[in-house]
Amino acid sequence: MLESIKPMKSLNWNLEWRPPRSAGGKWIVQKIQSLDSDLCCLTEVTEALIPEGEVIRSDLDYGYDNKGDRRKVVMWSREPWKDVDLQGDPELPGGRFVSGVTLGIRFIGVCIPWQSAHVSTGRKDRKSWEDHLIYCRGLTRIIEKYRKEDFPVCMLGDYNQRIPRVRQPVEVAKALAACFPSDFSICTAGMNDLEGKPLIDHCAVSPGLSAQVTEIIPKQTPDGNRVSDHAGIVQEVS
């Protein structure tokens, strides 16, 4: 039996490894505090920018050099987590996935590999979009598993694709679309950031949930300091 879900504020933001002592990093901390969200999904984040409290982190090893202060995906909640999963699927490229149940919802946090992951950097053992496609295959099985639970599903994070397709290969767009059952909805599909560029960070929800974008966070501070190459996205989920 699904629980009644109270409306909540969620934040989805790729922070591009912003240094915490930089002007952008300090602004990020203030912005997260001022939003007073119920749930945060932060991707490409340094430990110093992660809010204190109920936090689940992806594995440290995502295939690139890491001194231990970086995580590809972190999720913070106002309430405790249960049924935490840091692997998802054996085929999933490591260090890019977290999931758990909080606030009556099965949340999934992802940082799907970009098109050049491990092509010319990192392990240098992939072709363009290869890691992305592998991830999508694993993610399809994960969502199919979770949708059978007694909790609705909300997947936040860096999808590294524009929805609907813009320039990515048709095969790649179809692979991401295949992850989601036909009754899921993506509230960020077709939306642009404040510079008019299509979003690549998204929020998908299963039946029983609705989500609506309430704020787009700019990529620069009001005085022009760089914050991230991604816009932050605030959603109301209910």
pLDDT score recorded for residue 1: 44
pLDDT in tens, 181-234: 999 999 999 999 999 999 999 999 999 999 999 999 999 999 999 999 999 999
Assess contact for 11 and 35: CB atoms under 8 A: yes
pLDDT score recorded for residue 148: 94
Give me the mean pLDDT over the 156-170 stretch.
98
pLDDT score recorded for residue 169: 98
Q: CA 126, CA 117: separation in Å to the nearest integer?
A: 7
Cα 196 → chain centroid:
21
pLDDT in tens, 113-138: 999 999 999 999 999 999 999 999 99
Give me the mean pLDDT over the 4-16 stretch.
95
Q: CA 197, CA 216: separation in Å to the nearest integer?
A: 12
Beta bridge partners of 71: 45
pLDDT score recorded for residue 4: 76
Q: CA 129, CA 110: separation in Å to the nearest integer?
A: 16
All structural domains of the chain, each given as residue ranges with its CATH number in brackets, are 8-237 (3.60.10.10)
222: its two tokens? 């009001």
Question: Quick one: pLDDT band at residue 156, thresholds 50, 70, 90?
Answer: very high
Residue 2, pLDDT > 80, answer: no
Q: CA 221, CA 163: separation in Å to the nearest integer?
A: 26
Residue 3, pLDDT > 70, answer: no
Strands (E), the chain: 8-14, 39-46, 54-57, 70-77, 82-85, 97-102, 105-111, 153-158, 185-186, 201-205, 211-217, 232-237
pLDDT score recorded for residue 238: 96
Residue 75, pLDDT > 50, answer: yes
pLDDT in tens, 14-70: 999 999 999 999 999 999 999 999 999 999 999 999 999 999 999 999 999 898 899
